Amino acid sequence: MNVSEFSQKSVRRILAYWYKAMRGRIAIQQNKVMFFTFQGQYTCNPKYICRSLHELSPETRCVWVVACDGDRTGFPDFAETVIYGTPEYYRALYSSKALIDNGFNFVRQPVEKKKGQYYIETMHGSLGIKRIDAASNPNRKRNRIGYRCGALADYIISNSEFETDVYRSSFWEKTPVLMYGHARNDILIRGRDDDADCDLREKVRSFYGLPGDAKLALYAPTFAREASKEFEEFDADLLRVSLAERFGGEWYVLKRLHPKDARTRRVNAEGEFILDGNRYTDIHELMVAIDFAVTDYSSWIFDYVVTKKPGMIFAPDLEEYQNSTGFYYPITSTPFPLATDSASARKMIGDFDEKKYREEVNLFLAAKGCVDDGRASERAAKMVFDLLADKLPEA
């Protein structure tokens, strides 16, 4: 950490404690809601809850937290933005009636929830295989923040019986769970963005300057805890050729880094057919647009599964990852074919049985008790709207 970064963190910490002490003097505004995402962008569950809330109640003030001035792009006109750690941020935080998060963003700082405020946790995974409990992660600071989230959250939103069990066995043992489904998955169920009257396949292809009949695959691995060459060594050209041989058409591959990795690394888009997937902010819109999915253990593919479109897991470091992090259920029990090297990946694509795959997807979703039905954002927005009037939901 350089001197400038140290100074910025010191100033933020001083401001945090100052406003924490003075929070009683800042009046709560009944029509103000603050949104956090770990990406610092207009995305994930908070995006779709925010949008539905605005449709339901246009007079509600929606305030979004961003990391810096350059991140104030991609937000709708009705959304306000504040830069994290500034006086404007703390004043907005302590004057908001509801706080909506998709991770441990609100609780990782020395702030408090005021009496009369509501904190709603949405998280950013569903049906995910990776363990998130404290026992599976040696990061004590992260686990302390997780338990603080569980203590302060008024509600947490789930999309399945499985996910509710994960919450209960990790950080939210006593937090009321709202089984609404995940707002970000609504467009996956519908296959388009009905609220914006938008064909997302056309939107994404137009964004990348591709022909309308182009086939798209997305390769997006999970966050790399340690330096890894897996992303660079992934053979995107072989994937493209294999998909063309099996399914026909002209294929393009989007390579997308995890948001945390994207802060320090860049995608090497090698040539005309290999594209930078991080250029496109909303991965859920990409999921609607693509024709094939590839990841290692990232939770996004367990959102994508509700589309019932083809996908596979490419995990060359499977044994190492399983020993260090662990899974909630065997990776071989998912509907996705599992490959550990390029040769097995090519064979599995060539042998891909779409009928069998869809049958296994249906069984998987039923076994996990998934309730996603394309209307989660409406339920969540109505809940937030009621909270602004102190009307509590039934958990």
Query: What digits encode the pLDDT tens for the residues 238-263?
Result: 999 999 999 999 999 999 986 665 55
pTM of the complete model: 0.91
* Within a domain: 190: no
278 within 8 A of 303, measured Cβ to Cβ: no
For residue range 41-76, what is the model confidence (pLDDT) as tens digits? 999 999 999 999 999 999 999 999 998 888 888 999
Same domain for 40 and 151? yes
Indicate whether 257 and 212 sit together in one domain: yes
Q: 227 pLDDT band (50/70/90 cuts)? A: very low
CATH code where residue 342 lies: 3.40.50.12580
Q: Are residues 378 and 364 in the same domain?
A: no
In a domain, 296, yes or no: yes
Please give the single-letter amino acid code of residue 197. Answer: D
The answer to whether residue 194 sits within a structural domain is no
Buried/exposed 16-51: b ≥16 CB within 10 Å, e otherwise: beebbeebeebeeeeebbbbbbbbbbbbbbbbbbbb
CATH number of the domain that 26 lies in?
A: 3.40.50.11820
Q: Is the pLDDT of residue 297 over 90?
A: no
Count of domains forming the chain: 2
Please, which residues bridge with residue 155 across strands?
Answer: 120
Q: Identify whether residues 178 and 216 lie together within a single domain.
A: no
Q: What is the pLDDT of residue 272?
A: 85
Question: Above pLDDT 70, what percent of the chain?
Answer: 92
Band (394; pLDDT cuts 50, 70, 90) = confident
Q: Are 82 and 220 in a shared domain?
A: no
Burial 302-338 (b: 16+ CB within 10 A, else e): bbbbbbebbbbbbbbebeebeeebebbeebeebbbbe
Query: Is residue 192 assigned to a domain?
Result: no
Same domain, 84 and 228: no
In this prediction, residue 71 carries a pLDDT of 87
Q: Are residues 91 and 214 in the same domain?
A: no
118 and 175 part of one domain: yes
Q: What is the 8-class DSSP label of residue 316?
A: T
Residue 141 belongs to a domain: yes
Range of the domain at 174: 9-182+373-388
Give the pLDDT band (50/70/90) at residue 96: very high
Same-domain check for residues 203 and 169: no
Query: Per-residue pLDDT for 216 more than 50?
Result: yes
38 and 133 together in one domain: yes
- On whether both 381 and 353 belong to a single domain, the answer is no
pLDDT at 395 exceeding the cut of 80: no
Q: How confident is the model at residue 37, as a pLDDT?
A: 95
Residue 270 has a pLDDT of: 65
Higher per-residue pLDDT: 270 or 237: 237
Tell me the average pLDDT across 282-288: 95
Query: Residues 208, 163: one domain?
Result: no
32 beta partners: 61
**Distance between first and last Cα of the chain:** 44
Asked if residue 311 belongs to a domain, the reply is yes
State the pLDDT at residue 108.
87
**What is the pLDDT of the chain when averaged over all its residues?**
91
Rounded to the nearest angstrom, the gap between the alpha carbon of residue 145 and the centroid of all alpha carbons in its chain is 18
